[in-house]
Structure 1
Amino acid sequence: MIRKAKISDVGTIMTIINETVKEMKSYGNNQWDENYPNSETFINDIKNDSLYVYEEDNNIKGFICIDCNQAAEYENLNWSLNEKCMVAHRIAVNTKFRNSGIATKLMSFCEELALKEGIIYIKTDTYSLNTKMNSLFKKLGYKFIGEVKFLSKEKAFYCYEKILK
């Protein structure tokens, strides 16, 4: 089940973040670290009604932030459409439950939520070194649009879009 996150979920979310950061570091990906994303990031997402968790058997197995907030860095890219879109941010799955389709379910939920709100366009990005998310976006039919630099990271972030039917 996917539901809106609650403040009481933040501890579990941060456990998932900490494990994910360790894993990312193991293959040289410094997209996330001890400073970002932090509990304040997720508390703000919850206050903005944009954080969703995937829960099964009373375990939060993953989460996604979905809103319409585009990074300013997106402005210089050649997007296919110039209209309101949903943006998927901060997607993670508990390392114990990886490879069970949870990230795909979270992205499908993002698409369903967009359509429910009359939005046919999704944008997202991930660090160029995040091979798992880059593979997921391609597998789900997201089109690579270009690169942006932000969060004072050394490498570029790859941006993707999907027009929903």
Structure 2
Amino acid sequence: MIRKARLNDISTIIEIIKSTIEEMKTYNNTQWGENYPLDEDFADDIENGDLYVDDDCGHIKGFICVNFIEPVEYEGLNWSSNDKSMMIHRMAVNPRFRQQGVATELINFAEKLAYYNNVVYLKTDTYSINTKMNSLLKKCGFKFIGKINLFDKEKSFYCYDKLLKNFK
């Protein structure tokens, strides 16, 4: 069941982040590290009502942040639409629950959340060498839009968007 995250979820979320960072290091992905994302980022997400967890009987399978905060770096890209959009930020799956469709469920949830907020358009970005997230976004029907630079990283971030269909 996907629900809004609570402050007492942060310690588990940080453990997921730590294991995700270790895995990312195995393929030289430095998208996340010691300085990002931090406890404070998730506390802010929770305070703003933007962070959601996939909770299976008290076990957090994964999390996703969805909101209207668009990075200024998105300006100037040739997006598919000028419609109001929601953004996907900070998403990860607990290693114990990988290969079970959790990431796809989280993306599907973001789509439904956008639609229920009268938004039919999602945007996101991920580090160019984050092969898993790039593959997931393509698999979920997101369209590659272009590249941006973020966080003084040496490689670019790939930006994606998706026009949503009606949900019943």
Question: Please, what TM-score do these two structures have when normalized by structure 1?
Answer: 0.99
| Structure 1 unpaired stretches of 5+ | none
- Partner residue, 2:31: 31
Unaligned runs of 5+ in 2: none
2:148 matches 1:151: no
When the two chains are superposed, the root-mean-square deviation of aligned CA atoms in Å is: 0.6
Deviation sequence 1:131-151 (CA, Å, 0-9, x none): 000000000110000000011
Q: Which residue of 1 is the match for residue 65 of structure 2?
A: 65
TM-score with structure 2 length normalisation?
Answer: 0.97
Per-residue CA deviation, residues 106-156 of structure 1 (Å, 9 max, x unaligned), is 000000011111100000110001000000000011000000001111100
Match of 2:133 in 1: 133
Name the residue aligned to 2:53: 53
Deviations 1:86-119 (A, max 9, x none): 1000010011111110010000000001111110
TM-aligned CA deviation for residue 26 of structure 1: 1.0
Q: State the aligned residue count.
A: 165
- Residue 57 of structure 1 deviates from its aligned partner by 2.4
Aligned 1:77-116 pairs, distance under 5 A: 77-116=77-116
Secondary structure of residue in 2 paired with 1:3: strand
Matched residues, percent identical? 56
Residue type of the partner of 2:145? I
What letter is aligned with 1:106? L
C-alpha distance in structure 2 between counterparts of 1:56 and 1:3, whole Å: 10
In the alignment, the residues of structure 1 paired with residue 98 and residue 25 of structure 2 have an alpha-carbon distance, to the nearest angstrom, of: 17
